Every structure is written in C-alpha cells, then in structure tokens.
Amino acid sequence: MRAIVAFVLLALPLVAADLAGEIKAVIDSPSYKGARWGILVVDTKTGQTVYARNADTFFAPASVTKLFSCAAALVALGPDHKFETPVYALGKVKDGNLTGDLVLVASGDLTFGGRTSKDGKMLFKNDDHIYTSGFSMETELTDSNPVAAFDELAKQVKAAGITSVNGDVLIDDRLFIGSEGSGSGPRVISPMIVNDSLIDLIVTPGKKAGDPATLSTRPETAFFKGDVDIATTEKGPSYFAVSNDDPQEFSIRGRISEKSKPMIGILPVRRPTDFARTLFIEALRREGVRVTAALVRKQVASELPKSEVYAELKPTAKFISLPFKDAITVTLKVSHNLYASTLPHLTAAKKGGGRSIAEGLKSQGDMLKEIGLDPATISFGGGAGGSNADHVTPRATVTLLEAMQKRPEWSAFKAGLPVLGVDGTLASVVGKDSPAKGHVFAKTGTLSWGDLVNGRMYLTSKALGGVMTTKNGKDLTFAIFLNDKPLPPGVKASAEGKTLGKLCEIIYENGP
C-alpha cells in the first residue's frame, strides 16, 4: 500500500512538470519576445491551480469581454426571457381605416425573427455575414427571412381589421439612448435591430464575360438606393469598391469572374430606426394594408406619443422572440459585436439602471458582483471587447466561469460557447484529427491594428476563456491571454488563434 501511495505522489508532479514544460516551449519561444502571456488553469472541482502565468495581471481580453456581458445579461433577464415587441394603433378605426398613427415599440430584441428557421430554431453560420470584410465567397447567409417579424406583425394588423393607415407608421426607440459599439461591424447601437443592422449585398456574375453582374440585396427594400456597375470577366481576381457617403445611398464598382460563385458583402445601416420604419411599411403594403405616409423619411423624436399612453391601450399586434438564450448563443458562437454592445443596455433596462451606455455598464458591473466577481479585477468601456478600457485578469475570467458553473444559467451559457474544432470561431483553429476536438468550450478574442510603419499587423490581444475536459476526464476552467505581439508582414491574427488551439491540445493531453 505504501508503494502505491509513493508512486502516486511521485507521478502527480511529473504530470504537472510535463504540462509546464510543454506550455513553456510554446510561450517562451523567441517569436514571443516582448509579448505578454497571462494564463490560469484550475481544476473545476477542487479549485486547485493546474498552471498559472501572470494570473493577476491585467490584459486586453478582446472579445473574451463577451463572457462578462453575456453572463450579466443572461442572469439579469433569464435564459427563457422572450422579448415582446408590440404595435399600437393610436386613433380610431372605422370601416378598416385607422385615423391616426401605427406605432411599433422597440423592445431590444437582438434578432427580431431574422435568424429563425422555418422550424423555429435560431440560426448562425461559422462564417457569419456580420464580419464580412469587402466581398467574400466564404460568407454564408442563414436560411431565414430577415423581415419575418415585420411580416408577422403586418398579418396581425390586418387580422385586427385595419386595412388602411391614414396617419403615419412610427418606431418608438426610447427603450435606451443610442450609443456606439466598441467592436467591428455595425456601430450604431439601437433597441431596433433588423438583419443585424445590415443590408446584405449579393453579387452574381453574368452568364458570360462582358455581361453585367447582378446585384441583389437582403432584405429587398426601397430604403437604400444603389448605383451599380460590375462587369463580368473571363478570368482574373474579383474586386469591388463600395462608396456609402450618404446613409441611404451606395455605389459599387468592380468586376467578378464568370466562374465565380456569388460573393457577399455588407452595408451597415446608420439609421436603424428609419430603416425599420420603411421595412414595416413595406410589410404592411405587401399584406394589403394601405399606408398613406411617405415610405422613406427621417423620423424625429417629437412625433412619438408620451410613453404613458401605451399603458391605456391594448396592442394591435405583438411579435414574441425566441428565448433569450438563443440570442446569447449567436453572440458567443460568432462573437457578435452588435449584440454584445447592446447587452449592457438590456441589463440596465431590466434592472431599472438607466438608459445610457454608462448606466448600462454600471448595471452590468452590479450584476457581475452579484454573480461573484470582484469589480476591481475588471475594466470595461463597452460590451463587445474593442474599447481601450477593456482589461481583465486571467483570474477574473476564471472566477466568472467558475461562478457561472454553479448557477442555473450555466447550461444555457455553456451551450453558447464555441466548441474547439466544431463550430463558431473555434471551428478551424485545430486540425480535423485533433485529440482535443469537441472537448473544449471557450470564447475567443481578437484585437489587432495596422502597423503602417512596418507594413504589418500589431496583435493587441488574442485570447481564450472557457472550460474543457481532459483526456483523463478532469474538468478544467481556464483563461489564456496573449497581448502585444507584432505579427510578421502578411501573417494574420488567425495564426495565433492556432497557437491558442495548440495550447488547448497541450493542456488536454498533459493536464491532470
């Protein structure tokens, strides 16, 4: 018996030494001279430290920030919360004619039916349109109707007996004060979100060289006017130049090879309230409801009724979202900056914490403290991870994850995390035969800037935080941060994503 005990006591340090040596060989290599690493790996069950490097030092977390904003919002609203977006008829209805305005009150619904499949499931793509840069053949659009909510509301308005609106159609966007997002993608944060506040631009080559290419938009709408001149060429690279100086006008010039698949680009919506207003009117007209108001114009706040009016009215129509946990899944899986930037606002709206982004982040901090996090170990200037103020310690990240694992919201939270080698932003960071594939659930983060002096990218942050089960069956909670790494010319940040994937493999293989 003593021999067995001695063997166990000798074996455990050897495992730890192997793990430390394998990690050291990666992070202390010459290519990381001057860069900073912060790592903490703990045994989920016992809380014992498995590996640590600068665990209490602040690092830029990039989109690992979304772990914090999603956790706070998920606890505040609840996984099964459903957004209800009502429409009110302000005026009298006689013989089908509404003499007055039709008002949609925005609820902050992140997806607003635009990612819902025909069988009622929330959809996302690993190469989601939200991050399309330029035009891409890799970007995929979900098989869903981006204006499904408006179509449903229009049907309900018609079913309520309204066949004509002899006033205006308005969008009440006063749930919170609009702000600017802290990550790439659409920058305008509003409680009214349709199709991720984007217009998708789909370019299809003509049948043969010399034919003009075809541009279609998703959704199809009169809100934007386009001036398009794209030629179909026999061969050669495809390229596009997009100009969008006016919020409602764009022009595209370029070329596309006749053998090319359709290419997808995006155009951010800078006036989401006015965009939604036009889309709602178009849906009403498709349903046979006559609207006398102008289809496209700029709405002003003074046109809206006093908020107290709604309490005295019964909604004419109402759109109900899928459970909030489904939107959290999209936010985490594809690292959705627009949704994440909206979450502090939604947390504050639920908790009565105010309408500004500053008040939203204060409410988020209060929720994180309630979850079990020390606010002194975090700093955030937004919900998505692109703010200069965004800094956390590896220990704070692990503490958050440990606390969430003890809460009833954990199953919904974990379900949203990208899975190593399987989906979301971790789909391709390891090989198909990776031993750790499917065993790591974690949120990624990337933040880089152009170093114009040296013609390279400066990687401010490549980060990962989550949980894994090792090959020995041990559950671990971890955070890995790489900060301040100049990349060689031509090398993309995704190369360091693979490094973090390699570290996950090392921990999976050599951990306890």
At 183 the pLDDT is: 78
Tokens of 22: 């394998």
CATH number at residue 48: 3.40.710.10
Beta strands in 95-186 (DSSP E): 97-105, 135-136, 164-165, 169-172, 179-180
Same domain, 306 and 414: no
Record the tokens describing residue 487, joined without a space.
């990349």
pLDDT of 137: 85
Q: What is the pLDDT of residue 15?
A: 46
Alpha carbons 197 and 202: distance in angstroms, whole number: 16
pLDDT of residue 1: 41
Q: Do both 359 and 300 map to the same domain?
A: no
Which residues in the chain come in under a pLDDT of 50? Answer: 1-15
Spatial contact of 210 and 234, defined as CB atoms under 8 Å apart = no
CA distances from 19 to 51, 87, 187 (A): 8, 59, 42
> Are 431 and 364 found together in one domain?
yes
- As a dihedral over the C-alpha atoms of residue 376, residue 383, residue 126, residue 322, rounded to 10 degrees, the angle is 110
Statement to judge: residues 173 and 106 lie in one domain: yes
Residues 412 and 448 in one domain: yes
Same domain, 429 and 465: yes
The whole-number pLDDT of residue 16 equals: 63
Q: Which amino acid is at 446?
A: T
Tell me how many domains the chain contains.
Answer: 2
Q: DSSP letter at 261?
A: P
pLDDT computed for residue 133 by the predictor: 75
Note down the domain range covering 98.
84-322
Write down the residue that tokens 């192997």 correspond to. 18
pLDDT of residue 230: 95
Domain identity same for 248 and 197: yes
189 and 110 inside one domain: yes
C-alpha of 441 from chain center: 17
Structure tokens given for 87? 């429409």
Q: Which of 269, 298, 322 is the last residue of a domain?
A: 322
**Tokens describing residue 129:** 């349109």
pLDDT per position as a tens digit, 400-415: 999 999 999 999 999 9
**Residue 390: both structure tokens together:** 């965004």
Q: In Å, how far are 438, 440, 471 from 504, measured between CA atoms?
A: 11, 8, 12
The pair of three-digit structure tokens given for residue 481, joined into one six-digit string: 């941060």
- Domain final position from 272, 297, 322: 322
In a domain, 4, yes or no: no
Give the global pTM: 0.94
Q: What is the 3-state secondary structure (H, E, C) of 177-198?
A: CCEECCCCCCCEECCCCCHHHE
SS3 28: coil
One domain for residues 128 and 63: no
**Tell me: the pLDDT tens digits for 305-349?**
999 999 999 999 999 999 999 999 999 999 999 999 999 999 999
317-320 vs 198-204, strand pairing mode: unpaired
366 and 304 in one domain? Answer: no
